[in-house]
Structure 1
Amino acid sequence: MKPQQIGEAYNQITHLWQSEAFDVKNGIVPHERAIAFVKTRGKALDVGCGCTGRFIDLLLQQGFQPEGVDISEEMIRLAREKHPEIVFHHQDICEWGLPDTYDLITAWDSIWHIPLEQQENVLTKLASALNPNGVLIFSCGGVDEPGAHEDDFMGPTVSYSSLGINGFLRLLMAHGCVCRHLEYDQYPQLHTYLIVQKSG
């Protein structure tokens, strides 16, 4: 699926994140772990920021100047309503030229929707946008080998892809990053997150 199709799918399901059933603490502890490695709390970027604003709130509380980017026009509209003081970009991360460099980049439950053939390009872009000692946290499918699939678990069909654990690690190490933490946080599900830090 093309990123624009993913955006259109997410336009239809914003209610899933606005429901009382959604756990607004989802991903917060991993982000607190990532922030502990950050040496300078300057600019931060939330990739696939969605509409809850929970990571934007955390970053603000921790002294960052955050921005958000999302492929879904409706997610961005809702995010701007919640945080009118924050800059949000309605962009395709595959094509977008990041406007700055950052001390922290998060891509929680987002880049796995990027087509497999674009995964390396996007991860390279994010690693390149880290300041020295900057930290990247992202979730991924913790599979052994690269792969992709589609499902309609959330309603509309969306695609997922992963370079595989070793694929992500090899790529990020090649771009000057050190792995600080890797966790299958919902095991036996393959939901996995990595925290990597750019060499100083």
Structure 2
Amino acid sequence: MKDQSELAQNIIEIYKKHVRAWTELRGQFLYEKAWLDHFLSLLPDHSTILDLGCASAKPIAAYLIAQGHSVVGVDSSEVMIEMAQENFPEQSWIQADMRQIDLGQKFQGILAWDSFFHLTQEDQRQMFEQFSIFAEQSTVLMFTSEPNHGEAIGNLFGEALYHASLAPEEYKQLLNDHGFQVIKMVAEDAECSGHTVWLAQKV
């Protein structure tokens, strides 16, 4: 059995391997809609949104685009990016690792939905500096995590799927340290398929 660090490093390869099957499994139902609507309600019209872990752009980025916003999507899977480009060729899609990408651009919204929680705890801590670099004053940040501090192994098509989380208190501190104010947080939201969601804004 691989150790946790090896499993964490294997995430990108798992999604590359099962990209089309995962996309079909994910489907088009937008159970995140209420959270996305709250996120969008805090943005100016025609904002540019950074979607970290954008996958094929459907259904989440598709919804953001339909509301009149522009999306810059980042995903580590070349096939995901190809699918996003096919779906929305007028938007910007970049194959890269969210932990290391330097875009030289700031965004009005930053989204890391069902992606950030695949990073190790230390990489998650480092991501808050990335979030801050991509943010301007009033930028809205939304991400999903696990509800409690720890590591967990899920399953995707028979592959061990790594997840990690910090304690809620540490997320709050990291957000505060990087100039973000928590607007809303719900652990294991029953109205959003059990997701733990953080919504914050740069102040």
TM-score normalised by the chain length of structure 2: 0.86
CA–CA distance in structure 1, aligned partners of residues 156 and 15 of structure 2: 12
Equivalent residue runs for 1:115-130 within 5 Å: 115-130=120-135
Correspondence 1:182 to 2:185: yes
Deviation at residue 23 of structure 1 after TM alignment: 4.6
CA–CA distance in structure 1, aligned partners of residues 61 and 92 of structure 2: 11
Percent identity over the alignment is 25
Is the alpha carbon distance of 1:22 and 1:55 closer, same or farther for their aligned partners in structure 2, counting shifts above 3 Å? Answer: closer
Equivalent residue runs for 1:1-200 within 5 Å: 1=6, 5-14=10-19, 15-19=21-25, 22-39=27-44, 41-143=46-148, 145=149, 147-184=150-187, 185-186=189-190, 191-199=195-203
Structure with higher helix content: 2
Q: What are the superposed Cα offsets for residues 115-170 of structure 1, whole Å, 9 maximum, x if unpaired?
A: 22111111221133111111001111011x3x223232443222111112111111
Query: Tell me, which stretches of 5 or more residues in structure 2 are unaligned?
Result: 1-5
Is the alpha carbon distance of 1:70 and 1:2 closer, same or farther for their aligned partners in structure 2, counting shifts above 3 Å? Answer: farther
CA–CA distance in structure 2, aligned partners of residues 71 and 160 of structure 1: 17
Total equivalences in the alignment: 195
Deviation at residue 41 of structure 1 after TM alignment: 3.9
Answer whether contact 2:53 2:75 (CA < 8 A) is retained: yes
What SS does the corresponding residue of 1:152 show, helix, strand or coil? strand
What SS does the corresponding residue of 2:51 show, helix, strand or coil? strand
Answer whether contact 1:124 1:172 (CA < 8 A) is retained: no
Q: Which region of structure 1 is more displaced relative to structure 2, 65-74 or 23-32?
A: 23-32
Answer whether contact 2:8 2:162 (CA < 8 A) is retained: no
CA–CA distance in structure 1, aligned partners of residues 46 and 34 of structure 2: 18
